Amino acid sequence: MEPIAIDVRSEIGKLNGVIVHVPGPEVENMTPENAARALYSDILNLAIALPEYNNFIGVLKKYTNVFEVKDLLHDILKNNHVKNEMLQKICQYEKHDQDDVCRMVQELDPEILARQLIEGVEMQKDNLTRFLDNERFCMHPLPNFFFTRDASFSVGNEVMISKMANSVRERETMIMEAIFNYHPILQAKTVNPVNLYDKTKKGTIEGGDVIVAREDIILVGTGDRTTTQGIDSLIEHFKTKPGVQHIIVQELPFKPESFIHLDMVFTFLDQDKCMIFEPLIIDATKYLTIHITIDGEKVVSIKEEKNILAALRSLGMDLEPIRCGGNDDVFVMEREQWQSGANFFTLEPGKFIGYARNVNTIENLNKHGFEVVRARDIVSDKVKIEDYKKLVITIEGNELSRGGGGARCMTMPISRQQVTW
């Protein structure tokens, strides 16, 4: 395969390449006892979730270049310098440098090491302390990694490395940073804005909170996972860019957990349409929308806006909102938002993927002119994506949604075609 250059200047440009991670044993290595530490409120049944995921990734493979995290990681670990550098960084952060685990994994074959860095390294019960330790793993599994959106995100021709709000996910960022720095097929410039600019030690930012609206506009949510200090780091980085840049910041509730990221309440669908959770995006007066304008090396304006839609309209993007859960019942909206009903991943303008279980949301999309096609029918070649002008592709999602994310969460786009606005 030819090398692919990072280039993402919108949420909806035709998709040229995406990174995913197929959920594996790391998901089943969760128990009710350790699920909360892994940031889950429930445990997933992989036997049920995997067929749903296979339909999802099957659609992506029919459409674009798909790269698997584990394969990319395996490739770079064949380089001893890269392997040593990554293991040293992981071991220092997770405080394994004084025990045997790092010496043990250092000797592993690259393929096995790539798997264990994601699935976890089991503790050898070879002394009394370890025998009595309730922990099964000395290096914990990464059950959230199939949400590849969070650990890194593409903006323009750069890959931003996240600073995760919870330390249990920080190994994901280390893996993604190494992949982008060293894999020969990915022509990437990585930037770690929090490490570069944050002096407060309070900065965090995750990819689910960052939405590229247009080449000069990004939306960022601030709440449980992305702090204002993390966004300040992005501002500092954008000061190094030529021209005028706009950052629209949306405050999010810290509870319930379904508001974890901005893309759980707002996603782009087309050049003139978006999916919203209306009670927050339009009706909430408690949660501010802030419009920051950067020109050259300084912030030239920072002001409150009525909402995201009004802020985008002032910049020439007039979007029709389609409501998650339908138009009538707030309780239905809340239930379907909880099930990632506002979280869609766009393949190209007007064609996108989401969960079938959110029946009122899908019905509302159909009323707005989007044909509804099942992912399994695309995978089995019963229908073709190119035969439709406006299309919502549905995956079942009954089990996957229990992980707390949707189709956008499970993708990390690395290249999209330009959009003519």
- Please tell me whether residue 367 adopts helix, strand or coil conformation: helix
Q: What is the pLDDT of residue 307?
A: 97
Q: Kindly state the tokens that stand for 315.
A: 């910049």
Q: Which residues contact 166 (CB under 8 A, 6 or more apart)?
A: 39
Q: Is 149 helix (H, G, I), strand (E, B) or coil?
A: coil
For residues 183 and 76, the answer to whether their CB atoms sit within 8 Å is: yes
Instruction: Give residue 350's identity as a one-letter amino acid code.
Output: G
**What gap in Å lies between CA 297 and CA 145, rounded to an integer?**
36
Q: What share of the chain is helix, strand, coil (3-state, %, to 5)?
A: 35, 25, 40
Closest CA to 210 of 273, 153, 148: 153
DSSP state letter for 325:
T
Which residue in this structure is represented by tokens 């309209």? 313
Q: Please, where are the H alpha helices in 295-355? A: 308-314, 330-338
pLDDT at residue 38, rounded to an integer? 47
The CA-CA-CA angle for residues 376, 382, 385, to 5°, reads: 80
Residue 362 CB coordination number (10 Å): 20
CA pair distance 120, 309, nearest whole angstrom:
43
Angle between helices 69-77 and 170-182 (to 10 degrees): 60
Strand order in the sheet with 391-395: 345-348, 351-355, 391-395, 371-374
Distance CA 339, CA 42 (A): 13
d(CA 143, CA 43): 10
Question: Average pLDDT per run of 10 along the chain, which is 421 residues long?
Answer: 92 98 86 51 80 97 97 97 94 77 88 94 80 81 94 97 94 97 95 96 97 98 97 97 96 89 98 97 90 95 97 98 95 95 98 97 98 98 96 94 92 96 80
Report pLDDT for 32: 55
4-75+141-416 CATH pick, 3.75.10.10, 3.30.1120.80, 3.30.1280.10, 3.10.20.30: 3.75.10.10
CB neighbour class for 388 (10 Å; exposed up to 12, middle 13-18, buried from 19): middle
Would you list the domain boundaries of the chain?
4-75+141-416
pTM of the complete model: 0.94
Question: Which residue type does 66 have?
Answer: V
Give the angle subtended at the CA of 152 by the CAs of 54 and 43, to the nearest 5°: 45
Tokens 């394969």 belong to residue? 71
